[in-house]
Amino acid sequence: MVQQYQSPVRVYKHPFEMVMAAYEKRFPTCEMIPVFVGCDILSDVESEDKATHVVERRCKLNVDAPRLLKRMVGFDYIYFVQKNALNRKERSLKISAHNESFSSRVLVNETCQYTVHPDNPNWTCFEQTASMEIKSFFGFESTVEKIAMKQYTANIKKGKEIIEYYLNELQTNGVKYIPTWAEENPHLVASQSSSNSTVSTASNTLMEDLTETSATDKLEEDYIEHILGVLQPIEESKLIQLRKWLADTHNGKIPRDDHILRFLRSRDFHFEKAKEFLCQSLSWRKQHQVDRILSNWKAPETLEKYYIGGWHHYGTDHRPIYVLRLGQMDTKGLLKSVGEEQILRHVIYIMEQGLQKCRESSVLRNKPMSSWTCLLDLEGLNMRHLWRPGVQALLRIIEVIEANYPETMARLLIVRSPRVFPVLWTLISPFIDEKTSSKFMMYTGTDYLECGGLVDYIPTEFIPDFLGGVSKCDIPEGGPVPKSLYKTEWEKGDGVALWEDTIYKSANVLKGAPHEVLVEVPERDCVITWDFDSVKGDVTFTLFHSTHPLGKSTLSTHNAYCHVINNAGCIEEDTHMTLGKDYTIMEAGIVCREGESVQGSHIARKPGSYVLQWKYHGGQPQSSTVQDVLYQVTHNPKSKVIYYHELLPSENFRGSMTSLESCQSAFSALSHVTTSS
């Protein structure tokens, strides 16, 4: 395996000649580099006009390695060969180094160069590249690699400190300025004779081996620190490598540096993983024209009015804050009125706004800012929000955000989570990256207003009023989405609201012939959930529990534990079963009017057979004319429902069973208002 390192451009705000004088003080030994024991000069060639000077040294290093490892491989010191090619006329120093010890097992190559800053002749730039390949090392390859990288990064950090130290020492000793070669040799400046301008063959070879790159393609160390934040040397190297690869493969068109850095961080600075991850996202952005969304897209009026979220001031760390009141949002109504694609696009729009606000905050505060805080209020969250298409849409949104906006959320502050939250978390947590989920902070009750709560991240004057603060939050009030805004795309065939890949089933409920679904519960504390709409007529929903096994001969398999009972086999009309003895009503009949929706759940305290029943609910005829009687004789009254149900294993909810009690078989406040609209 080959390890690569590429440094950013380090800038010394001193002339090249002063930096060279400081650099020479490192030899033959340097107290500030304890691993550098000493060096021997192998060759020293200087041109007659002193314009070029090439020195080759054999350096002795005392590597900080375990004593046992040193004894096993039989070494105390490591030897490197270093060649310095100084060109005073062009004001540049090019350095190459390679290991002499264990060169058949480990290959280390390093190149460095000091040059004049392209924009300021009184400043000096330093760059460094290195590679290390471990072929074999007595079975200690991994250990040697870790030791080498640790030693190397430590020396990188020390390098700048040492040069700065000797620069200060020179100035303290009265050396403020050193003339350039051109100033010392004005009579030779105009002459371009080969004898006075040619470096030795060895020097030429070295310089040809060093690839020159455009200054505009390079990142300066100060830029990284002030614009992107403090990075470790290896992290800086990965950023520069990925940036260069993108420039080479994308015709010079590369994303912002902070964007590249987010993808590297999300993959722990693993170059190949980050490269693949970023390229997929760049293709996605191009395909969906995401870079133009802030200027070219406007949210539908329904989203602007009923999507209860918005930006709200800045946190204590000056990060933008986004407030989302998911518990109060009519997610089902939004999906039916604008569709999943528009909601997803709206979320992408919000994410792009967040990136823009981070950049604005960085400029305003003169501090790197690449992520924001999200305040999530879950008050009002109920089984209605667990409507399967809604959960599927949420999972898709999470998938898109995870794939294209990594490391954009500094923290997620969750407040007022209701008792149904464990169900939702069980459904979505497998799709959330572990690093992302570690940023979730949940507050129960009202402790979020105390020390250690929201005040740690949000200034007291900016805590929203609906959470007990004093700041008015400028976000939509929301509410139930009127059914008049629902799109007709949801209707298929005879008006049953289904998706192409729907998990919902439809059933006709005839008068006198209820539709029933059998759910076999294998153990106590499983959770039965249901979600249904009455798309035609009115129905009454009831949940039964039978102490006796129901006849499997009349059932058609639905899944491992769920079966559909033949409509002719109504549990209430079975002459062999008695209410209160053979079966009991677990959830009293709920009347669902045409066009209404019902979501609910029940904790099965006993194993056995549970029956979900939908019964036709019809009132008395308004008149008894001959025509009405004839119609009733020739037309069998019926209703139609679409439904989905699920049995959730108890192991997913052990320890939180009582938290689900509030969800049992009733209209939530939001669903009740919605169905009445």
Q: What's residue 378's pLDDT?
A: 92
Q: Residue 365: is its pLDDT beyond 60? A: yes
| Burial class for 304, CB neighbours closer than 10 Å (0-12, 13-18, 19+) | exposed
Percent helix, strand and coil across the chain, each rounded to 5? Answer: 40, 25, 35
501 and 541 share one domain: yes
Report pLDDT for 470: 93
CA distance 266 to 279: 14
pLDDT level of residue 143 (50, 70, 90 thresholds): low
Binned at pLDDT 50, 70 and 90, residue 73 comes out as: low
pLDDT at position 197:
41
In this prediction, residue 617 carries a pLDDT of 87
Percent of the chain with pLDDT over 90: 41
The range of the structural domain enclosing residue 69 comes to: 2-212
Together in a domain, 441 and 499: no
My answer on whether 246 and 142 are in the same domain is no
- Cα distance between residue 670 and residue 146, in whole Å: 58
Q: Rounded to whole angstroms, how far apart are CA atoms 222 and 209?
A: 28
Assess whether the previous peptide bond of 480 is cis (omega < 30° from 0): no
Final residue of a structural domain among 177, 212, 247? 212
For the cut 90, the answer to whether the pLDDT of residue 161 exceeds it is no
Listed residues 236, 269, 287: the one ending a domain = 287
Question: In sequence order, what E strands does 566-626 have?
Answer: 583-592, 597-604, 608-616
**Top-confidence residue, 455 or 653:** 455
From 256-270, 290-304, 634-648, the region with the lowest mean pLDDT: 634-648
Question: What is the pLDDT confidence band of residue 625, given thresholds at 50, 70 and 90?
Answer: low
Q: First and final CA of the chain: distance in angstroms?
A: 66
Higher pLDDT, 338 or 450: 338
Same domain, 578 and 549: yes
Asked if pLDDT for residue 666 goes beyond 50, the answer is: no
pLDDT of residue 394 exceeding 70, the answer is yes
**Any domain includes 476:** no
CATH of the domain at 664: 2.60.120.680
Residues 413-421: what's their mean pLDDT? 86
Task: Judge whether 573 lies within some domain.
Answer: yes
3-state secondary structure of 239: helix
Q: Same structural domain for residues 283 and 304? A: no
Judge whether 215 and 118 are in contact, CB under 8 Å: yes
- What pLDDT does residue 644 have? 81
- Over 50: is that where the pLDDT of 327 sits? yes
Range among 191-195, 317-321, 364-368, 486-490 with highest mean pLDDT value: 317-321
CATH (domain of 112): 3.30.530.20
Cα 106 to its chain centre, rounded Å, is 37
CB-neighbour burial class of residue 610 (10 A; exposed 0-12, middle 13-18, buried 19+): buried
At 53 the pLDDT is: 95
Q: What is the pLDDT of residue 92?
A: 96
- Report in angstroms the alpha-carbon separations of 258 from 32, 234, 301: 34, 16, 33
19 and 84, same domain (yes or no): yes
Same domain, 571 and 456: no
Instruction: Report the pLDDT averaged over residues 452-464.
Output: 93
Question: What's the average model confidence in pLDDT over 286-307?
Answer: 93
pLDDT given at position 303: 95
> CA–CA separation, 547 vs 584, rounded Å?
8
| pLDDT at residue number 671 | 31
Domain assignment present for 219: no
pLDDT > 70? residue 55:
yes
Tell which phi-psi region holds residue 223, choosing left (phi > 0), alpha (psi between -120 and 50) or beta. Answer: alpha
Query: What is the model's pLDDT at position 82?
Result: 94
pLDDT for the residue numbered 35? 76
The pTM for the full model equals 0.69
Amino acid identity of residue 7, one-letter, is S
Q: Is 50 exceeded by the pLDDT of residue 545?
A: yes
Which residues, at least 6 apart from 197, have a Cβ–Cβ distance to it below 8 Å? 51, 89
Indicate whether 199 pLDDT > 90.
no
- Helix, coil or strand: residue 675: helix
**Is residue 216 exposed (0-12), middle (13-18) or buried (19+ Cβ within 10 Å)?**
exposed
- pLDDT over 50 (residue 543): yes
Q: pLDDT exceeding 70 applies to what percent of the chain?
A: 78
In a domain, 480, yes or no: no
Has residue 549 got a pLDDT over 80? no
What is the count of structural domains for the chain? 4
Q: Please report which confidence band the pLDDT of residue 175 belongs to, taking 50, 70 and 90 as the band edges.
A: very high
State which of 416, 432, 467 marks the end of a domain. Answer: 467
- Distance, in Å, from the CA atom of 340 to the CA atom of 400, rounded to the nearest integer, reads 13
Confidence at residue 67, expressed as pLDDT on a 0 to 100 scale: 60
Helix residue spans in 135-174 (DSSP H): 141-172
Sign of the C-alpha dihedral, residues 375, 377, 381, 384? negative
Whether residues 583 and 544 share a domain: the answer is yes
Same domain for 247 and 381, yes or no, is no
**484, pLDDT greater than 60:** yes
Beta bridge partner(s), residue 400? none
Q: Is residue 514 part of a domain?
A: yes
Are residues 193 and 253 located together in one domain of the fold? Answer: no
Q: What pLDDT score was predicted for residue 418?
A: 83
Give 293's contacts (C-beta < 8 A, 6+ positions apart): 345, 348, 349, 352
Mean pLDDT of the chain: 80
> In this structure, are 31 and 148 located in the same domain?
yes
Which is higher by pLDDT, 236 or 386? 236
- In this structure, of 256-270, 433-447, 659-673, the range with the lowest mean pLDDT score is 659-673
- Position 257 pLDDT exceeds 80: yes
Q: Please tell me the predicted confidence (pLDDT) of residue 672.
A: 32
- Cβ-based neighbours of 493, under 8 Å, separated by 6 or more: none
8 A C-beta contact, residue 344 and residue 403: no
Structural domain contains residue 473: no
Question: Which token pair is 641?
Answer: 């429902």
Distance CA 594, CA 55 (A): 92
- pLDDT value, residue 3: 78
42 belongs to a structural domain: yes
Backbone phi, then psi, for 481, in 5-degree steps?
-75, 125
Contact 84, 93 (CB under 8 A): yes
CATH number of the domain residue 243 falls in:
1.10.8
Give domain status of residue 611, yes or no.
yes
Decide if pLDDT at 109 tops 70: yes
Q: From the CB of residue 559, how many other CB atoms can be counted at a distance below 10 Å?
A: 11
Are 520 and 562 within 8 A, CB to CB?
yes
Do 531 and 616 fall into the same domain? yes
